[in-house]
Chains A and B, each alone.
Chain A
Amino acid sequence: MFFLLLLHLVIGIAIVAVGKMLGRRAFLVAAIAPLATLLWAAAKAPGVLDGDPVTESFAWIPQLGIDIDMRLDAFALLMVVVISGIGLLICIYSMGYFSHDKPGLARLAGVLVLFAGAMLGVVLSDQLIALFIFWELTSVTSYLLIGNDDTNPRARAASMQAIFITGAGGLVLLAGLIIIGQAGGTYRMSELLADPPTGGAVNAGIVLVLIGAFTKSAQAPFSSWLPAAMVAPTPVSAYLHSATMVKAGVYLVARMAPMFAMTGSWRLVVMVIGATTMSIGGLRALRQTDLKLLLAYGTVSQLGFMMLLLGVGEYHIAEAGLVLILAHAAFKAALFMVVGIIDHETGTRDITELHGFGPSWRLVQVVAVVSAASMAGIPPLFGFVAKEKALDGYLEHGDFAGATAVLVVIVLASILTFAYSARFVLGVFGAFGDVDRPVVSRTAHAPGALFVGPSVVLTVATIVFGIVPGLLDDLVEGATTALYPGSEPNALHLFAGFNTALLLSVVIIGCGVLLTVFRTRVTGVQRRASEVVRPIPSGEQGYLGVLRGISVVANRVTATVQNGSLPIYIAIIILTVTMLPTAAFATEIGPLPQWVEEPAHVVLVAVMVAAALGASIVRHRIAAAIMLGAVGYAMAGLYVARGAPDLALTQFSIETLSTVLFVLVLRFLPRSWRHQAPSIAAPMRIAVAGAVGVGIFIFALSAGNARSSVDEPSMSEVMVEQSLPKGKGHNVVNVILVDFRGWDTMGEITVLLVAAIGAVSLARPGRRRNDDHAPVFEENLDAGAEPALPEPLR
């Protein structure tokens, strides 16, 4: 498994680095990665489906007990088939979609492969922390893919929105995973499944995990980023934002539902959020005129459906969810491909502009009709099998509180699904087109075989698995057993007899037809309803509100903390530096030292005190600098008197140089400071100075006594003793600097280097070009985010 991830990494980076010369053919190279994965999965499939998962392990951070454990069980296999199968088709499709010289094409192809690798990592990780890392990598690659057209402000705003929401959710998820891992004593999901932890902390942890999963899978109220992400090229939307990445949240919920569905509020939260998302997504999809946005809201709705199926922790229902994952990947990817083809050939995807497709478009229209029918749940297609299984699951096994309500929501939302599927088909056939507008569609040349081929493959799959769903029995039953050990999943059927589920399907189709027939009236009702709910803030408004809030808070905090007054900065810095250790050491002051050891000390200290007082009284800057230098020289004299030539030498050199440098800088300032209102009043400054002095005094007293209470030789004695034998030097100070504490010196010289570079850039301001100044937040708020949003969502 590691070699597969490595393969994706190598191919992805190689394409990003040198793919420019390949042009469109970069996608051929990219296709190697999913193809290899599919072959590998096919080779491993028989054993895995027999209930014998493939595992690999790699010690990553053994100190923290974090290994990368990879595990291919039947559920992971199902996801791998979706990820790599759709990935392969998308690579082929992209060859038709992109023109040869599109800028950033190589980067897009490469990042697409990197994304596929990250997504494989998510579904193959058995270890929660590794899963999280791959999870975040999918967010990052998704960000890069949405914003691939970096000259488009809408793309930039949409990619920001996606990474803000999924990134924030990722942090919440990490917290939840750590809580669960700590409570369970293991981060391996296979072990957690055998012995799920319980308790108050776990209840909080699962809510956090759910929030993370909801952001990733675009559940309400975090769904706004997914429609905005439709600004990405269509192959990206088809792959990441319908078939794979948005299912990561569903995947995690499906993995954890068997462990935690009975714990805390898991099942309630999943049911409420899933039902809300499924209905709202359906309602909004019904209002779109942009085919891609229609599909995006449809995806939101279907993701809510998957949550309802895979998240409630009942294996019959979860089995339906697994079928839905497969069916949805097949029909939704095909539908996106159709939209991409239409967009590419006609230049629009607005249903009010599309009409008059010629006969050469028949194949595309067949793909659209079959896939949309599968989405609507019409027999004998794959989507129908999934929906039937779901209804049957809730009817026969929904014996938990709220199951009936969820069933009602599923039926109602499925009616909406039928209606928006019909709207999609009618749109593709030009039913909403304005006949007075010029016909772009008829003149558009029909797409090539390579361009249509991948969607045809998916359509064939939709039909075959609809008519003979038994082909998937092994995979789906194996995956169900992998999630719920000991369960006995049923076989899949196209026609399971005349039962209540079939009746509900008839009701759904009937009502859906009615909604479609009276679509003008439905639109009117929806418009009136949207006026009523307008005051309720939507997810998008919430996102923008949070963004503005961050901006406002940051502005205020910066204005308070960084008010531009150097005296205040310095007061804060020195008070922190001295007061913190003083507070810690104040209790450890030993006996007071002998005040005067030699007469020379008195003289030196008198000089120091006088110079220090002078430095704070004189109004002449350079005079003050020189007095400070005098303090330093007197200090060096103290070192000499105490027999520390090395310190004295250093102190002398430092004082000399710093006085020179002081003078250099002070030349740029007025010679003296005038009477002006200081930002800190004099008593306050005296208090700060006094506090710092007292702090240093306490620090010096307690530092001198360090270890004196412990029954050990003091540190300085040890160092003096060890200097020659261990450090091979007679000068203990130097041995400490280069050997005993050499690592500290390493850090210090690095700081010196940084300080030197900083000083130079401080001294040379104003070299930056004005147009480099790019206020990212403002740009997103004003230029990008608003137009990137599809339309007010009601």
Chain B
Amino acid sequence: MNASSDASSSHGTLRRSRRMMLLDTSMKVLYPSILVLAMYFLVAGHNRPGGGFVGGLVVGGALALRYVSGGAHAVRSTFRLPPHLFLGLGLLLSASTAFIPVVLGGSILEHGDATFHLPIFDKVKVTSALPFDIGVDLIVIGLILMAFAAFGEDVPDAPGAADDGSDAPSPALKIRSKP
């Protein structure tokens, strides 16, 4: 995302005048870093602090940052896939991980593991808990995307807009301008 592409006046997009340059600029570094951190949490979760749930929440944090800087449109354009696809795929993945062992003659959620030797990471042990965790991760991301889609649209006339006599037209802006 960059500032110029979002400077349109289309619904859900913040006008250029309302954007904060400091945030927009730092986003360019922050956003990918957070996603890498989330990926690390997801993959390393089985042995170190982290896991699918936390991974998903961290992605959600990154999305929240995008929302603050670019509005609902920025969140929508992040993943070009509809939010419910994340939910469905996530549940499908987790449920398959849970039930495939049954098909293979084991018990529900029985996990297996395998060790690989990869060039950079050397010895890597992967358990079948990972796809389960990825499913959880996807569902959390889907949930957050849906929440932003449902509640994130800019409201032209929030019921409370005139409550305190403030003349700020956008609630999103008001929030941001609050100390």
Number of contact residues on A: which range applies?
35 or more
Interface residue ranges, A against B (CB under 8 Å): 622, 645-646, 649-650, 653-654, 656-657, 660-661, 663-665, 667-672, 727-731, 733-735, 737-739, 742-743, 745-746, 749-750, 752-753, 755-757, 759-760, 762-764
**Complex formed: what's the CA distance from A757 to B172 in Å?**
24
**Complex formed: what's the CA distance from A724 to B163 in Å?**
58
Q: Choose one: A646, A649, A661, A756; the contact of B87 (CB below 8 Å).
A: A756
CB-nearest residue of chain A to B164? A671
Given known pairs A670-B159, A729-B47, A759-B150, the reply for A753 and B143 (CB within 8 Å) is yes
Q: Tell whether B105 is near chain A: CB-to-CB under 8 Å.
A: no
Is the beta-carbon distance between A743 and B51 smaller than 8 angstroms? no
A624 to chain B, nearest CB (A): 13
B30 to chain A, nearest CB (A): 14
Given known pairs A670-B159, A670-B160, the reply for A746 and B139 (CB within 8 Å) is no
Chain A neighbourhood of B111, CB < 8 A? 727-728, 738-739
Given known pairs A653-B60, A670-B159, A746-B98, the reply for A731 and B91 (CB within 8 Å) is no
Per-residue CB contact flags for chain B residues 95-137 toward chain A (1 = under 8 Å, else 0) read 1001000000000110101000000000001010100110110
Other than the given A667-B175, A746-B94, 15 more pairs (CB < 8 A) read A646-B50, A649-B49, A649-B50, A653-B61, A656-B61, A657-B57, A657-B64, A663-B175, A665-B151, A733-B49, A734-B133, A738-B132, A743-B108, A745-B136, A756-B147
**Complex formed: what's the CA distance from A650 to B139 in Å?**
16
Chain B neighbourhood of A764, CB < 8 A? 150
Per the CB 8 Å criterion, the residue count for chain B at the interface is: 59
**Complex formed: what's the CA distance from A661 to B52 in Å?**
20
CB-nearest residue of chain A to B64? A660
List the count of A-B residue pairs having beta carbons below 8 Å apart.
160
Interface residue ranges, B against A (CB under 8 Å): 41, 45-54, 57-58, 60-61, 64, 67-68, 83-84, 87, 90-91, 94-95, 98, 108-109, 111, 113, 125, 127, 129, 132-133, 135-136, 139-140, 142-144, 146-152, 155, 158-160, 163-164, 171-172, 175, 178
A396 to chain B, nearest CB (A): 65
B107 to chain A, nearest CB (A): 10
Is the beta-carbon distance between A734 and B50 smaller than 8 angstroms? yes
Chain B neighbourhood of A739, CB < 8 A? 109, 111, 129
**Complex formed: what's the CA distance from A746 to B90 in Å?**
11
Is the beta-carbon distance between B46 and A742 smaller than 8 angstroms? no
B173 to chain A, nearest CB (A): 11
Chain B neighbourhood of A749, CB < 8 A? 90-91, 94, 135-136, 139
A511 to chain B, nearest CB (A): 72
Is the beta-carbon distance between B178 and A622 smaller than 8 angstroms? yes
Is the beta-carbon distance between A742 and B53 smaller than 8 angstroms? no
CB-nearest residue of chain B to A742? B109
Q: Choose one: B41, B83, B113, B140; the contact of A752 (CB below 8 Å).
A: B140
Is the beta-carbon distance between A650 and B163 smaller than 8 angstroms? no
**Complex formed: what's the CA distance from A743 to B94 in Å?**
10
A347 to chain B, nearest CB (A): 53
Is the beta-carbon distance between A760 and B146 smaller than 8 angstroms? yes
**Complex formed: what's the CA distance from A321 to B49 in Å?**
77
CB-nearest residue of chain A to B127? A728
Chain B neighbourhood of A745, CB < 8 A? 94, 132, 136
Chain A neighbourhood of B47, CB < 8 A? 729-731, 734
Chain A neighbourhood of B45, CB < 8 A? 731, 734
Chain A neighbourhood of B151, CB < 8 A? 661, 664-665, 667-668, 759, 763
Is the beta-carbon distance between B149 and A760 smaller than 8 angstroms? yes
Is the beta-carbon distance between B58 and A653 smaller than 8 angstroms? yes
Q: Choose one: A731, A735, A746, A755; the contact of B95 (CB below 8 Å).
A: A746
**Complex formed: what's the CA distance from A752 to B95 in Å?**
14
**Complex formed: what's the CA distance from A677 to B158 in Å?**
23
